[in-house]
Amino acid sequence: GAVVSQHPSRVICKSGTSVKIECRSLDFQATTMFWYRQFPKQSLMLMATSNEGSKATYEQGVEKDKFLINHASLTLSTLTVTSAHPEDSSFYICSASGPPGLVEYEQYFGPGTRLTVT
Amino acid sequence: RKEVEQDPGPFNVPEGATVAFNCTYSNSASQSFFWYRQDCRKEPKLLMSVYSSGNEDGRFTAQLNRASQYISLLIRDSKLSDSATYLCVVSHGSSNTGKLIFGQGTTLQVKP
């Protein structure tokens, strides 16, 4: 199946700093990428949907100025958590889906990035 | 109220047992339904799609009742490796390539 990678897998940062997380589709072109967040013992919550070359669509309650998403190419999307605070500590997971006609047409998840803000 | 509701468990069962998980969804516009499996601190992985006619994949059987807005997953002959969190997922689109709405997950622990 198609592979999605995320980097870094784990990051610890100090409160007030910014953190960038990369999501890459390694062997297919991802027309759409999604960013999810999962707090302990809770469900994955969609934060935003991004299509290559256009602005991301954010879910209600997600601050677009705090969570900057860039989908500059068909294989790379980045999520930047600006001025991170301890309450932003979470498991951030990206996923990607390719265009119709892809052999295995589904949404592929990256391995996730565990962010801890101290 | 959450759009997808699941009993978080945990369900503790012995190896070889049959276990069933249930899920309800509130949005009647939901079109596609799935069960995902998530291991601790890992990403979710698609276990199976769920169809109105019911579908089976080895030891796993999924059922959908659109009238009751209810989805189930049955696992027969549980293995230790089945221990994980099972996520009920719905989509308003026709596949799982669009926005997915996840339930909280039901934790299964299979014991020897």
Q: For residue A1, what pLDDT is reported?
A: 64
- For residue range A4-25, list pLDDT tens digits in order: 999 999 999 999 999 999 999 9
Q: For residue B72, what pLDDT is reported?
A: 97
Which positions in chain A touch B4 (Cβ < 8 Å)? 43
Q: Smallest CA–CA separation between A44 and chain B, in Å?
A: 6
Region A23-49 average pLDDT = 91
The band of A99, judged by pLDDT with boundaries at 50, 70 and 90, is low
The band of A101, judged by pLDDT with boundaries at 50, 70 and 90, is low
Per-residue H/E/C for chain B: CCCEEECCCCEEEECCCCEEEEEEECCCCCCEEEEEEECCCCCEEEEEEECCCCEEECCEEEEEECCCCEEEEEECCCCHHHCEEEEEEEECCCCCCCCEEECCCEEEEEEC
The count of CB pairs under 8 A between chains A and B is 49
The band of B36, judged by pLDDT with boundaries at 50, 70 and 90, is very high
Q: For residue B92, what pLDDT is reported?
A: 83
Average of per-residue pLDDT values in chain A: 90
pLDDT at residue A53 tops 70? yes
- Looking at mean pLDDT, say which of A41-50, B26-35, B76-85 comes out highest: B76-85
Q: Select from A23, A44, A57 the residue whose CB has the most chain B CBs within 10 Å, as the one to mutate to test that interface.
A: A44
Q: For residue B1, what pLDDT is reported?
A: 78
Across the interface, which of B43, B101, B104 has its CB nearest the CB of A93? B43
Region B18-35 average pLDDT = 94
pLDDT at residue B83 tops 90? yes
Q: For residue A62, what pLDDT is reported?
A: 95
B22 vs A21: CA distance, rounded Å: 35
Q: Smallest CA–CA separation between A89 and chain B, in Å?
A: 14
pLDDT at residue B53 tops 90? no
